[in-house]
Amino acid sequence: MISTIKKSLFIVSLTFWATVSVAQTGNYAGREQAKDGGISSSMLEVIRTGYNATPAEKAVKNALSGTSIQVLASTAENSFIKDTHFSNVVKTKGITNQMSSGRCWLFTGLNVLRAKVIAKYDMPKFEFSQNYISFYDLLEKSNLFLQGIIDTKALPFEDRNVDWLFKHPIGDGGQFTGVANLITKYGLVPKEAMPETYQSTHTSDMRSILSQKLREFGLALRDSNEKDLQGMKVKMLTEIYSILTKCLGVPPTQFSYTRYDSKNVPVETKEYTPAQFYKEFVAEDLENNYIMVMNDPLREYGKVYEIAYDRHVYDGQNWVYLNLPIEKIKEMAIASIKDNTALYFSCDVGKFQNRELGLLDLNNYDYASLFNTTFPMDKKQRVMTGASGSSHAMTLIAVDLDEKGVAKKWMVENSWGERSGYRGNVIMTDEWFNEYMFRLVVEKKYVPKDVLKMMDQKPELLPAWDPMYLDED
């Protein structure tokens, strides 16, 4: 009996290991008919013909093994900027630096305003305090998250809105609507009144701490049976405020400021509150004086769209934009620049970018020749597939027009420091502008009446997680 059992176990064992052996070796080598959608051995043989080991292919493979793709794809013709002349340039002074933070939207918005202030008062280099607005931006975003959790408390945790809130509790990216809402609510101060700190210029760790606390608070709000959820929220925001003051400093409520002229001669010294400083130096209705236009080839032109939860201030405005053809956007941009007025501009800055030169040109890199392939997708297809989208905001300050008034190239003031790019700026060809420009914020006085009329439409509401409408950083 025992002998029979041993014999049976031996046979079973042989069968098991034979099966494992086939599964680990021969099964892959001899499988002609793979499961539907898999790679069979015969298919793999065809695929392997993609590399023929010709001298040219060996040379490319060897080069790629030790050199970056961008270096090898760089075109010799674009190794320097051939023409830096611009027919129309907005007068501004100084280059800002957001450093290791996602605040390009804020620097861009403030750079638009500071250009006006410099021109109005004939000032030397001047900056508003980015840190001051950053402080209240993070405080307001914390409230936006916590109130969003309260508003969705009755929904299951798996609901898409709840899921989105917990995945995106806070960040330092944004867009122009946030600039307008925050300045209108909290005013402005000069940089001297609240200078940058290490944490304001290196925000990753601070964002991580804030995100962790907000998620913790969010769970507490959802699990609470208390009726006083607003009271709980105030206590939570008090703790967030404490963290922010340790990282960024205490926002001033009153300060002294001396204004200088372009020769650095003091003109006057006065006491201000942030609201008074905003009223005296900017003195415009930021929430109603501008419209945001977008070139989104996925959606119908001439229509207005609104992005749910895409705002900085809970009691402020969602991001609303009018979708327009690129040529109509250019007309407004040219009109503004000709009148010495800079514009908030955003684009997919990483595409065909020569960062050292500060040049955005479709001819900077020849990836097709390097890999012996083609990249035929147009702007609509790139957006549709997630291959392109707005990623960075800068200040549009110049255009070079030909004798017929047609744009040949453009220039933006960046916020990556004066040593970055072309004297802190970035030059882009008009062809690049067509393919990778997405958003522009324009003063209403430069907007044609028929375009302004389009803004009277009721916006179509889009979800916060739409991939095309992520915040710029």
User: Nearest Cα to 319, choosing from 304, 302, 300?
Assistant: 304
In Å, how far are 53, 108, 166, 431 from 393, measured between CA atoms? 44, 6, 26, 19
Question: Does residue 57 lie in a domain region?
Answer: no
Here the tokens at position 124 are: 């030397």
Pairing state of beta strands 407-413 and 255-260? Answer: unpaired
- The alpha helices in 249-376, defined as continuous H runs, are 274-281, 326-338, 367-371
Residues 6+ apart with CB under 8 A from 442: 290, 291, 293, 332, 333, 336, 343
- The alpha helices in 352-464, defined as continuous H runs, are 367-371, 379-384, 430-436, 449-454
- How many domains is the chain partitioned into structurally? 1
DSSP characters over 199-232: HHHB-HHHHHHHHHHHHHHHHHHHH---S-HHHH
Catalytic residue among 143, 295, 323, 414: 414
- Spatial separation of the C-alpha atoms in residues 159 and 152, rounded to whole Å: 9
Catalytic residue among 143, 168, 181, 392: 392
Question: Does residue 83 lie in a domain region?
Answer: no
- Spatial separation of the C-alpha atoms in residues 364 and 354, rounded to whole Å: 7
247 in catalytic set: no
Pairing state of beta strands 343-347 and 392-401? Answer: antiparallel
Question: Does residue 282 lie in a domain region?
Answer: yes
- Spatial separation of the C-alpha atoms in residues 345 and 433, rounded to whole Å: 11
The dihedral region occupied by 99, where left means phi > 0, alpha psi between -120 and 50, and beta the remainder, is left
Question: Does residue 231 lie in a domain region?
Answer: yes
340 in catalytic set: no
Question: Is the distance from CB of 357 to CB of 422 less than 8 angstroms?
Answer: yes
347 in catalytic set: no
Pairing state of beta strands 319-323 and 304-307? Answer: antiparallel
- State which residues of the chain have pLDDT below 50: 1-30
Question: Does residue 340 lie in a domain region?
Answer: yes
- Provide the terminal-to-terminal Cα distance of the chain, rounded to the nearest Å: 76
Q: What CATH number is associated with residue 357?
A: 3.90.70.10
- Spatial separation of the C-alpha atoms in residues 151 and 145, rounded to whole Å: 10
Structure confidence by residue, pLDDT tens digits, 215-260 = 999 999 999 987 899 999 999 999 999 999 999 999 999 999 999 9
Question: Is the distance from CB of 318 to CB of 311 less than 8 angstroms?
Answer: yes
User: Nearest Cα to 438, choosing from 326, 303, 308, 276?
Assistant: 326
Q: HSE (CB half, 13 Å, CA atoms) of 260?
A: 9
pTM for the full predicted model: 0.90
Question: Does residue 55 lie in a domain region?
Answer: no
pLDDT number for residue 39: 95
Catalytic residue among 78, 104, 143, 247: 104
pLDDT number for residue 465: 84
In Å, how far are 297, 328, 336 from 448, measured between CA atoms? 21, 10, 12
Phi, psi (degrees; rounded to nearest 5) at 180: -65, -45
Here the tokens at position 229 are: 């959820």
Element of type H or E holding 359: strand 359-360
- Spatial separation of the C-alpha atoms in residues 244 and 138, rounded to whole Å: 8
Question: Is the distance from CB of 99 to CB of 106 less than 8 angstroms?
Answer: no
For the chain, give the number of residues.
473
pLDDT number for residue 28: 44
Q: Give the residue numbers spanning the domain of 394.
A: 88-469
Question: Does residue 152 lie in a domain region?
Answer: yes
Structure confidence by residue, pLDDT tens digits, 321-359 = 999 999 999 999 999 999 999 999 999 999 999 999 999
Question: Does residue 24 lie in a domain region?
Answer: no
Computed from CA positions of residues 209, 107, 174, 353, in that sequence, does the dihedral angle turn out positive or negative? negative
pLDDT number for residue 335: 98
